[in-house]
Structure 1
Amino acid sequence: MTDIETPWTHMKSPLGEGLTTLRVRHEESNPWYWIKSNGGAYGAAIQLPVKEEEIASTVQGTAKINIVRINDSNGDHYLGVVINSSELATVFHRLCLDLMSACRYSENPSEIIAILKRRVLAWQRLFEKGNRRLSVEKCLGLIAELMFLKDYWIQNKPSRCVSGWIGPTGASQDFRDETLGVSVEIKSHSFDSNIVKISSKEQLDSEDLLFIVAYPGCLSSGEAGGKSLNEYVEEVRRILSPNEYSVFDERLLTVGYVYDPYYDEMEFQIGEPKAYKIEGDFPRLTEYSLPVAISRIRYEVDLALAADWICLISDID
């Protein structure tokens, strides 16, 4: 299957139409099983009360991920996710472990089914991208968002949680506090430049109070020290409440991040961020300042020329 062993490596395929199963030993809170079919598909399944069968039927497979539902002779019901692609086995193993971890703190079967449903959609988007590793530029951008999430968004406002990190869901800005009407766009740039990239006309246009928080950063040289993307991810996870793990993991999956030892090979230096309040004549393009015929734009802003709009990060309330 792959050169790296997974739980499925030594599992025999069933002779009939059923599944070969192997109980996941470390998952005591919920009955999870590694599964393998006679057609070569493999994955993981959870045992659920039969009364949840109708709800479980709403979980639909995707182009690369199949959903299996089984009622055994004992009346037990199982809901599982399987794939056929052997080259994705190692990545899929990690994704299944993350799914089990996300469900560990959910005792309600309906919540578990909802988590699984969202996760299948996130996995599909990941697999559509070909499981490509994030570029250095994308790593820096993700690290900046993780640092803001950890150091400011969650820490300064107990009412804010990881669900306010909405950039990965396709929103125009990266963070939004709906209660206070505050949105924040996170940017990263090199230490020797203050230029940031704006990806749409909506990104610096909002009815909310709108801010940019920009982080300088770069790949660390060997002696300078720094931290890897994997370390930044774990720093955030440690301060989250267990019921936020599933949302956090889904956000990471959506931006294309899956734990990979490869990311440990790169360390990053990140400097102190600067905040800018987007108002008045701040240099930007918006829907109202562009001809109607222009539908999509990308441009750059030199924040060195936007000093008049610098504010304190503590102003983001």
Structure 2
Amino acid sequence: MTAFERLSFARVMQGDREWFRLTVDAHDMHYEGYVLIESVVDQLRAGASFRHSVSEAVFALKDLVASRRRLTEEKELGLIGELLVLRHIIEVAGETTAIGSWLGPLAEEHDFALAAFDAEVKTTKSESRTHLIGSDTQLEPSPGRPLHLVSIQVTRAGNAEQGFTLPALISEVRSSLDQTLRTFDAALEGLGWHPEDADLYKIAYTLRSTPRAYFVDDEFPAITSARLDKVVPKRPHVSSVTYRVNVTDLDHSPIGFPLADFCEASV
């Protein structure tokens, strides 16, 4: 990622005249983009060369060309879901247990490794509980370890009081930490979160429904490495697997401490 990734230049010929085209990617920075272009135009009108005008404007607006990038919506929602679970575990089991069990930032197979089970947290803003599974190991239980998929549904909150943004949720979790604060901050940085970019995350969310847990057993519709080995010829040549699973109509299951009160009780 270069310092000028938000800017692109082109030389255009129209008849015998040569023109320069400046394109500005001002996504989530509309005001700064307008100011940059206005500065270039003002200097051109004053007689400065195109190169000098752009150079001066860029120097004056370093923040615009600093290539600030927010997380994709998918990663933002995924982080929100993990933080909701983390916040709950902190409340009922303490920060040491919570941060120690959070494996999501370490790119492990499952998001949480708790005392009695593993949990893979999936968050969606769709009306159905349809979740993207990013590999053939994400829903494959570790030997001797029960695995639950924790399904979280969120929706845009608008101006609702109970709404929360990603920065607000991070701030709330941070305020509850003491001994593990540095570990938490390092984990967020590894996931691509930068505090100086908090203003890029303006959408507030709220829970659409109570989270549910689904026990990943032999009857669960998961595509796993073990299952693929049995049916796919020359299995080693399949390098990656991504799929979606809809658990809306599946029976949700009970889940143990510390997530029993976080998830909806099974019928």
Give the TM-score band, short-chain normalised: 0.5 to 0.7
Structure with larger RCO (C-alpha < 8 A, sep 6+) = 2
Residue 210 (1) aligns with residue 147 (2)? yes
For the 8 Å contact 2:150–2:212, the answer to whether it is kept is yes
1:275 to 192, 196, 213: 213
Q: Deviations over 1:248-276 (max 9, x none)?
A: 01111111111234245221112421111
Q: CA RMSD in A?
A: 2.9
Q: 1:248 aligns with which of 179, 184, 198?
A: 184
Instruction: Identify if the C-alpha distance between structure 1 residues 226 and 282 changes in structure 2 by more than 3 Å, giving closer, same or farther.
Output: same
Question: Is the CA contact (8 Å cut-off) linking 2:93 and 2:258 kept in structure 1?
Answer: no
Is the contact made by 1:191 and 1:216 (CA closer than 8 Å) also made in structure 2? yes
Q: Does 1:289 align with 2:233?
A: no
- Give the letter for the 2:177 counterpart: L
The answer to whether 1:155 aligns with 2:91 is yes
The Cα of 1:135 is off from its aligned counterpart by 2.7
Aligned to 2:43: none
Q: What is the letter of the counterpart of residue 92 of structure 2?
A: N
Secondary structure of 1:304's aligned partner = coil
Match of 1:220 in 2: 157
Aligned to 1:187: 122
Q: Tell me which residue corresponds to 2:249.
A: 305
CA contact (8 A) 1:274 1:313 kept: no
Structure 2 residue runs of 5 or longer lacking an equivalent are 1-58, 261-267
How far is 1:225 from its partner? 5.5
Bigger Cα Rg: 2
Q: Quick one: percent identity of the two aligned structures?
A: 26
1:1-317, aligned counterparts within 5 Å? 131-151=68-88, 153-158=89-94, 160-177=97-114, 180=115, 182-207=117-142, 208-222=145-159, 226-241=163-178, 243-259=179-195, 260-263=197-200, 265-271=202-208, 272-290=210-228, 291=232, 292-293=235-236, 294-307=238-251, 309-312=252-255, 314=257
Q: Is the 8 A contact 1:168 1:254 kept in 2?
A: yes
State how many pairs are aligned.
Answer: 190
**Matching residue's letter, 2:138:** Q
Equivalent-residue separation in structure 2 for 1:313 and 1:182 (angstroms)? 8
Distance 1:245 1:225, change over 3 A: closer
Measured at CA, do residues 203 and 315 of structure 1 come closer, stay the same or move farther in structure 2, by a change above 3 Å? same
Q: Go from structure 1 to structure 2 and tell me whether the alpha carbon gap of 1:263 and 1:225 turns closer, same or farther (over 3 Å shift).
A: farther
Amino acid in the other structure paired with 2:225: E
Tell which deviates more after alignment, 224-233 or 251-260: 224-233
| Closer, same or farther: CA 218–191 of 1 in aligned 2, 3 Å | same
* Inter-partner Cα distance in structure 2 for 1:270 and 1:141: 14
AA aligned opposite 1:276:
Y
TM-score, normalised to structure 2, is 0.63
The answer for the alignment partner of 2:18 in structure 1 is none
3-state SS in 1 of match to 2:180? helix
Conserved? CA contact 2:150–2:213, under 8 Å:
yes
1:117-162 Cα deviation digits (max 9, x unpaired): xxxxxxxxxx9xx6521133322211111010011x2333346131
- Matched residue, 1:107: none
The answer to whether the 8 A contact 2:92-2:258 is kept is: no
SS at match of 1:197: strand
Distance in 1 between residues matched to 2:188 and 2:75, nearest whole Å: 12
SS at match of 2:167: helix
Residues in 2 aligned to 1:263 and 1:231: alpha-carbon distance in whole angstroms: 12
Instruction: Give unmatched runs, 5+ long, in structure 1.
Output: 1-85, 91-126
Q: Distance in 1 between the 2:106 and 2:148 partners?
A: 19
Measured after TM superposition, the shift of residue 314 of structure 1 is: 4.0
Q: 1: distance between equivalents of 2:125 and 2:155? A: 6
Q: Distance in 1 between matches of 2:101 and 2:246?
A: 27
Cα offset, 1:173, TM superposition: 0.9
Equivalent residue of 1:289, what SS? helix
